[in-house]
């Protein structure tokens, strides 16, 4: 069973995303801030991490940058899930190493499809 980290300070979004992923038979780790996300990635090594950009403490951008800088976890695929829709925000997300970028509000069906695509890359 594939493991996916979901990090978002909005409990409703965190619960919705984990519900949809678990409905596919995926195992999830749900955390509410960047520090907990980074700790969970280091400890549990999920192949995919969904990170909100605007979280207390470490942002999703910070976590993504730290993941890419750490050879032990650099292969974690990162999907940024955020309300930041400006072109420069998207560019910044990809510049720090994000593998995908989804803006809020989002389609749960589309998000699940994107996660499945990322997971298929980990098995290739």
How do residues 48-95 score in pLDDT, each as one tens digit? 999 999 998 999 999 999 999 999 999 999 999 988 778 888 899 999
Structural contact between residues 31 and 5, judged by C-beta atoms closer than 8 angstroms = yes
For residues 94, 7, 42, 29, the Cα torsion angle rounded to the nearest 10 degrees is: -130
Structure tokens, 11: 């409990």
Cβ density class 57-93: b for 16+ within 10 Å, e for less:
ebbbbbbbbbbbeeeebeebbbbbbbebeeeebbebb
d(CA 108, CA 96): 25
Give mean pLDDT, residues 14-36: 97
Q: What pLDDT, on a 0 to 100 scale, did the predictor assign at position 84?
A: 75
d(CA 49, CA 24): 16
Mean pLDDT of all residues belonging to the chain = 95
Domain spanning 3-123: which superfamily?
A: Response regulator (3.40.50.2300)
DSSP state of 48: E
């Amino acid at each position: 069973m594939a493991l996916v980290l979901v990090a978002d300070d909005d409990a409703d979004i965190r619960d919705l995303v984990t519900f949809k992923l678990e409905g596919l038979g995926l195992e999830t780790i749900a955390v509410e801030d960047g520090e907990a996300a980074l700790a969970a990635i280091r400890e549990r090594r999920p192949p995919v991490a969904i990170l909100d950009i605007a979280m207390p403490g470490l942002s999703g951008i910070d976590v993504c940058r730290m993941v890419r800088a750490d050879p032990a976890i650099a292969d974690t695929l990162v999907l940024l899930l955020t309300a930041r829709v400006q072109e420069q925000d998207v560019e910044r997300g990809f510049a720090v190493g994000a593998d995908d970028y989804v803006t809020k509000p989002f389609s749960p069906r589309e998000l699940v499809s994107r996660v499945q695509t990322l997971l298929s890359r980990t098995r290739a």
